[in-house]
């Protein structure tokens, strides 16, 4: 084992001959050996790391996963999986995010940098054991020390590199469906948003926009004048976001297929032929995204679409999902060769049934193809979790070559730690189930811990039919997630905001207007989290140290100042909330009406009508509120509200930048620093600093004092 010190808090232990995943960007100094901290190692078969947990310890992390924010009591297989039914018994979703923080009297972080399957048994097999197991002996383990979980997370975020910033318009509402298959249907959706006065920034194009599901092609019948159409939509205020799938269709004269084959850019089978499996386009080959040359080649193909005016993409099926291979098909078909009147015994019947069920995403298939990593032929199974990550990396790097100064919207379904540098993720094929709204809430801080900031779920649920209540409650939560997209599967009921009855449309419109009014705060908090290596969503106990906060899994801290308490249960017109300190409650029906109520620290039941969004403002904190518009590009934030709850003093740093270029990376941005200090009974001293030429002209302050009185002041911002 080699031991490296990355800082005085981060230690890397390198066992055997690990594959460089490039998850971590910081290189450490190699120092003398020391035994792995915290864990016992058993290397009789693969590697098994065991830590004895005390009863009081909570385990946070693991990014995109099922179960609670506290991962104890569960067993998780880190193995990117295309499984469209996220039921509680499942062990894997689309991402592989092997970072967790053990929090208690002894507190530390651990990251298992291993590109194959990792099993996290967190007090499942043995109540007090945290067991991490891999099948091989080549692995890098990072241990991160620190006093508190947030401090440990921030150390981790600083070694995996700065995250991805989408363009500002990507903070607007986005509408999707599988599918809006042609010009007319997209035009119709746009028209309904306009007619119903509902803000929206983007409309998604699912697989049907392509010609026979071929990447970087457009179905000429469905979109005869794509470039003109994209411009027409943009002029109306909507960007189009096409999907790109991992599988490349095998079709003679299709350039991607021909070039890939000619240059050996596809993953190969045992015999060195391009590996073949079927997905949407039928039989496909799979670009070897682990090879940098292939990444550049594929990444530059996005130019076909950027040349037509496209500014955003979503990369799908990149676990990679495999519907079937010839092998699986043969096996199933041969089992199915039974005569119709055969009396199958029950075992052969199940075997036959399973052979069809197990045809997709089978381990045997994953073990049957290879990548070329620096000239070495590496079995896919060993590096499975790097595939989606590197597809999106290909896109990110390609888009950077296409236009190095422009920010594009980029989403991936599969991911590994490190991919946050290239794009965001949506959390895949959830269902229109209340359980998945709660899961969505719990997953957000875990993903932030692993570097993923531009995240969100399919609002309303992808599979199954939503109803007016679920879409309303889900939308009321999703207005706080950086990625805010409503998406639904083929065959499900329509779930665009205007597809419901008048009252629901009105509630959704008010909710979306609130989102747009919150964009100055949301964007400011997002960018500060990115720049300062911080979390956008936090569990309560990452800031409040009382014992009860650790148990709260259905409320989140949002940025520097707010706490949100979403309604996630059917038929409920309210909920229990826990306040670690006195806070201001603003129940938003319409963001133009602001009635504030002070709630004392402790447990409360609050009424929350279907037309209300509860927002809590923490003590000695402030947030920013703008006005809504039809989309982000037309927001005018020269005049902003500053809403503060002041007992003693608060400072809010309002961040903004051009929202379109990468200039922020070199420090170009604007900041308005607002300091409010209580000086006497009704007296507040206010100081405003303007750094970097802000566009803000006027600040309307609403200062709430501890008696609930609101003090209003209007200040102009000096330039």
Query: Residues 371, 413, 436, 515: which binds ligand MIG (CB under 6 A)?
Result: 413
Shortest reach from residue 411's CB to ligand MIG, in Å: 10
Six-digit token pair at 305?
A: 């679409």
Rounded to the nearest whole angstrom, what is the least distance from the CB of residue 279 to ligand MIG in the complex? 8
Cα-Cα-Cα-Cα torsion 411, 448, 659, 242, nearest 10 degrees, comes to: 10
Q: How far is the CB of 222 from ligand MIG (least distance, A)?
A: 15
User: Could you say whether residue 397 binds ligand MIG (CB under 6 A)?
Assistant: no
CB of 178 to ligand MIG, least distance (A): 4
Rounded to whole angstroms, how far apart are CA atoms 146 and 11?
Answer: 12
What gap in Å lies between CA 33 and CA 13, rounded to an integer? 9
Q: CA separation (Å) from 509 to 315, 570, 591?
A: 29, 21, 11
Q: Give the residue with the Cβ less far from ligand MIG, 68 or 247.
A: 247
Cβ atoms of 129 and 50 within 8 Å: the answer is: yes
Q: Which of 96, 134, 207, 643 binds ligand MIG (CB under 6 A)?
A: 207
Question: Which one among 429, 496, 534, 656 touches ligand MIG, defined by CB under 6 A?
Answer: 429
- 201 has catalytic annotation: no
Least distance from ligand MIG to the Cβ atom of residue 645, Å: 40
Nearer to ligand MIG, 113 or 245 (CB): 245
**C-alpha–C-alpha distance, residues 434 and 65, integer Å:** 17
Contacting ligand MIG within 243-282 (CB under 6 A): 243
Q: Is 316 in the site for ligand MIG (CB under 6 A)?
A: yes
User: How far apart (Å, rounded) are the C-alpha atoms in residues 202 and 494?
Assistant: 17
Q: Rounded to the nearest whole angstrom, what is the least distance from the CB of residue 509 to ligand MIG in the complex?
A: 25
Distance CA 497, CA 478 (A): 13
Local structure of 369: helix, strand or coil: strand
Query: What is the pairing mode between strands 99-103 and 58-61?
Result: antiparallel
Which of residues 132 and 488 has its CB atom nearest to ligand MIG in the complex? 488
Tell me the two tokens of residue 539: 């569990």
Instruction: Considering the complex, state which of residue 183 and residue 206 has its C-beta at the smaller distance from ligand MIG.
Output: 206
Give the span between the Cα atoms of 150 and 140, in whole angstroms: 23
103 versus 208: smaller Cβ distance to ligand MIG: 208
Q: Determine which residue in the list 178, 226, 370, 454 makes contact with ligand MIG, applying CB under 6 A.
A: 178
CA torsion, ordered 449, 450, 455, 460, to nearest 10 deg: -80
Which of 63, 74, 423, 428 is close enough to bind ligand MIG by CB under 6 A? 428
DSSP string for 127-166: TTEEEEEESSS-EEEEEEE-SSHHHHHHHHHHHS------
Minimum CB separation from ligand MIG for residue 454, in Å?
16
Query: Whose CA is closest to 288, among 320, 314, 252?
Result: 320
Instruction: Please report how close the Cβ of residue 666 comes to ligand MIG at its closest, in angstroms.
Output: 35
Q: Which is nearer to ligand MIG, 316 or 513 (CB)?
A: 316
Structure tokens at 303: 């130019």
Question: Min. distance of Cβ 413 from ligand MIG in angstroms?
Answer: 6
d(CA 552, CA 69): 9
**Peptide bond preceding 320: is omega within 30 degrees of 0, i.e. cis?**
yes
Minimum CB distance to ligand MIG smaller for 455 or for 567 = 455
Nearest-approach distance from CB 248 to ligand MIG, in angstroms: 15
Q: Which is nearer to ligand MIG, 9 or 487 (CB)?
A: 487
**CB-based closest residue to ligand MIG:** 178
Of residues 311, 316, 331, 656, which has the active-site annotation? 316
Residue 604 DSSP SS3: strand
From residue 52, give the alpha-carbon distance in Å to each of 128, 131, 175, 194, 213: 6, 9, 46, 58, 50
| DSSP bridge partners of 207 | none
| Closest CB to ligand MIG among residues 74, 281 | 281
The alpha carbon of 281 is separated from its chain's Cα centroid by a whole number of angstroms, namely 27
Closer of 139 and 207 to ligand MIG (Cβ): 207
Rounded distance between C-alpha atoms, residue 659 and residue 167, angstroms: 5
Among 113, 121, 155, 206, binds ligand MIG (CB under 6 A): 206
* Strand 458-459 versus strand 485-486 pairing type: parallel
The least CB distance from residue 280 to ligand MIG, in Å, is: 7
Q: Which of 140, 206, 215, 319 is catalytic?
A: 319
Catalytic position from the list 429, 458, 513, 657: 429
In the beta sheet, which residues pair with residue 278? 283, 324
Phi, psi for residue 469 in degrees, rounded to 5? -75, -45
Residues 132-171: x where in contact with ligand MIG by CB under 6 A, - otherwise, as a string? ----------------------------------------
Specify the residue, 14 or 432, whose C-beta has the smaller distance to ligand MIG.
432
Quote the least distance from Cβ 317 to ligand MIG, whole Å.
6
Q: What is the CA radius of gyration of the chain?
A: 26
Active site residue 82: no
Q: What is the DSSP string of 656-693?
A: E--SSBSGGGGT--EEEEEEEEEEETTEEEEEEEEES-
Which residue number, 175 or 555, has a Cβ lying nearer to ligand MIG?
Answer: 175
Task: Say if residue 144 is exposed, middle or buried (CB neighbours under 10 Å; 0-12, 13-18, 19+).
Answer: buried
Residue indicated by tokens 């699912």: 206
133-136-137 Cα angle (round to 5): 95
Considering only residues 469 through 498, tell me which ones interact with ligand MIG, judged by CB under 6 A. 487
What are the tokens at 706?
């501890």
- For this structure, is 429 an active site residue? yes
Give how many residues touch ligand MIG by CB under 6 A: 10
Neighbouring CB atoms inside 10 A of 634's CB total 11
Residue ranges in contact with ligand MIG by CB under 6 A: 178, 206-207, 243, 316-317, 413, 428-429, 487
**Annotated active-site positions, please?**
316, 319, 429
């Amino acid at each position: 084992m080699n031991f490296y010190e990355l800082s005085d808090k981060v230690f890397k232990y390198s066992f055997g001959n690990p594959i460089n995943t490039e998850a971590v960007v910081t290189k450490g100094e190699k120092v003398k050996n020391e035994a792995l901290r915290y864990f016992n190692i058993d290397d009789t078969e693969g590697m098994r790391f065991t830590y004895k947990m005390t009863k009081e310890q909570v385990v946070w992390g693991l990014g995109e996963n099922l179960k609670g924010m506290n991962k104890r009591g569960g067993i998780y297989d880190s193995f990117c999986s295309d499984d469209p039914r996220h039921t509680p018994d499942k062990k894997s979703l689309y991402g592989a995010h092997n970072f967790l923080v053990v929090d208690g009297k002894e507190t530390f972080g651990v990251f298992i940098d291993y590109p194959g399957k990792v099993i996290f048994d967190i007090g499942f097999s043995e109540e007090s054991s945290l067991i991490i197991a891999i099948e091989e002996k080549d692995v890098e383990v990072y241990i991160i020390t620190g006093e508190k979980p947030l401090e440990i997370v921030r150390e981790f975020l600083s070694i995996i590199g700065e995250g991805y910033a989408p363009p500002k318009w990507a903070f607007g509402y986005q509408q999707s469906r599988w599918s809006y298959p042609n010009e007319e249907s997209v035009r119709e959706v746009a028209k309904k948003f306009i007619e119903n006065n509902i803000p929206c920034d983007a409309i998604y194009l699912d697989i049907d926009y392509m010609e026979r599901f071929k990447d970087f092609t457009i179905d000429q019948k469905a979109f005869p004048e794509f470039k003109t159409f994209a411009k027409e939509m943009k002029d109306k205020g909507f960007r189009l976001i096409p999907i790109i799938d991992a599988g490349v269709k095998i079709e003679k004269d299709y350039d991607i297929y021909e070039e890939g084959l000619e240059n050996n850019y596809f993953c190969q089978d045992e015999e060195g032929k391009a590996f073949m499996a079927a997905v949407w386009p039928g039989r496909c080959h799979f670009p070897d995204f682990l090879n940098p040359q292939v990444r550049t080649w594929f990444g530059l193909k996005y130019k076909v679409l950027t040349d037509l005016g496209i500014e955003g993409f979503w990369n799908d099926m990149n676990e990679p999902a495999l519907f079937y291979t010839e092998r699986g098909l043969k096996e199933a078909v041969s089992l199915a060769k039974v005569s119709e009147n055969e009396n199958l015994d029950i075992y052969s019947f199940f075997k036959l049934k399973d052979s069809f069920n197990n045809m997709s995403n089978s381990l045997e298939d994953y073990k049957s193809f290879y990548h070329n990593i620096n000239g070495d032929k590496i079995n896919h199974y060993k590096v499975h979790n790097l595939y989606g990550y590197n597809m999106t990396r290909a896109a990110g790097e390609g888009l950077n070559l296409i236009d190095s100064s422009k920010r594009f919207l980029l989403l991936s379904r599969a991911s590994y730690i490190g991919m946050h540098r290239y794009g965001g993720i949506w959390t895949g094929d959830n269902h229109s189930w209340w359980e998945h709204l709660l899961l969505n809430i719990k997953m957000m801080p875990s993903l932030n811990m692993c570097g993923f900031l531009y995240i969100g779920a399919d609002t309303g649920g992808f599979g199954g039919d939503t109803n007016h209540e679920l879409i309303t409650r889900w939308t009321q939560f999703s207005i706080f997630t950086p990625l805010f997209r409503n998406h639904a599967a083929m065959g499900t009921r329509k779930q665009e905001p205007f597809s419901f009855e008048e009252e629901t449309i009105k509630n959704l419109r008010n909710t979306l207007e609130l989102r747009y009014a919150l964009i100055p705060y949301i964007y400011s908090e997002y960018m500060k989290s990115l720049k300062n290596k911080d979390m956008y969503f936090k569990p309560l106990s990452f800031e409040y140290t009382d014992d009860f906060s650790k148990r709260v899994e259905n409320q989140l801290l949002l940025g520097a100042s707010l706490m949100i308490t979403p309604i996630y249960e059917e038929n409920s017109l309210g909920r229990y909330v826990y306040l670690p300190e006195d806070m201001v409650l603003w129940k938003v029906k319409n963001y133009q009406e602001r009635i504030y109520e002070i709630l004392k620290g402790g447990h409360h039941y609050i009424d929350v009508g279907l037309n209300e969004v509860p927002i809590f403002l923490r003590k000695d904190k402030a947030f920013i509120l703008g006005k809504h518009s039809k989309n982000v590009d037309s927001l005018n934030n020269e005049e902003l509200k500053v809403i503060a709850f002041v007992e003693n003093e608060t400072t809010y740093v309002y961040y903004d930048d051009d929202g379109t270029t990468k200039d922020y990376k070199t420090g170009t941005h604007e900041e308005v620093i607002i300091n409010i200090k209580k000086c006497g009974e009704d007296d507040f001293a206010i100081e405003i600093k303007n750094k970097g030429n802000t566009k803000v002209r006027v600040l309307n302050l609403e200062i709430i004092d501890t008696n609930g009185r609101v003090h209003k002041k209007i200040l102009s911002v000096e330039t």
